[in-house]
Amino acid sequence: MVHAYNLPPVVPAVPVGLTRSELGTWLGIGKNEVGKVIARFGLVSLEGYFPERDIWEKILEVQPTTDTAAWALREPLADVHWVAWMTGKRPSTIRNKVRAGTFDYGAGVQLGARTGTVNARLRRWNRECIRARREGRAEPEFMRVETDAQVDNAAETPSEAMKTGPFAAIATLGGHPSG
């Protein structure tokens, strides 16, 4: 049995890309939220499939530079509870630190949109980056990608470091160039 904290990578069943169901599994969200994320990030379906590299570029604003990094990107994204379990911090502490721009594990990516004065609670992180940082080893190398997406992650996170992209802090933690 697979424990919720140890999920296998999401590998597309066909080489074209992920189905909506596979995308939901990778994002760690329910089927009713998948369409909202697809619209928010401008993902384009090719005959019902979403190419992995398009997903990584538009949602995470990164591309892998090695096969190991690509494999790390296939791991399902982690929610705040998984990050809390890995870091020993409470979810509320993590949320407060992300808002203040002081969370040492990076800001992650905000999948949901802010509704009025309520911040969305769909922030996700790359599991391998969190594990590597926790264990003091190099994170997978990602190349930062500028996107044309009209997604404003900075609205929920005032820190200048987080305004440059959801994985910017993680991509540079190990001293790797970020693009």
pLDDT in the model for residue 14 = 92
What is the model's pLDDT at position 178?
39
Quote the pLDDT of residue 128: 94
Reading the block at residue 25, the tokens are 């599994």
Contacts with 178 (C-beta within 8 Å, 6 or more apart), sequence order: 142, 143, 144, 168, 171, 172
Quick one: residue 116, left, alpha or beta (phi over 0 = left, psi -120 to 50 = alpha)? left
How many Å apart are CA 121 and CA 136, to the nearest integer? Answer: 28
Q: Is 29 left (phi over 0), alpha (psi -120 to 50) or beta?
A: beta
CA-based angle 49:55:58, to the nearest 5? 135
Residues in the chain, pLDDT under 70: 1-4, 118-119, 148-179
Q: Which of 92, 116, 111 is nearest to 103 (CA)?
A: 92
Global model pTM greater than 0.75 = yes
Report the C-alpha gap between 75 and 28 in whole angstroms: 10
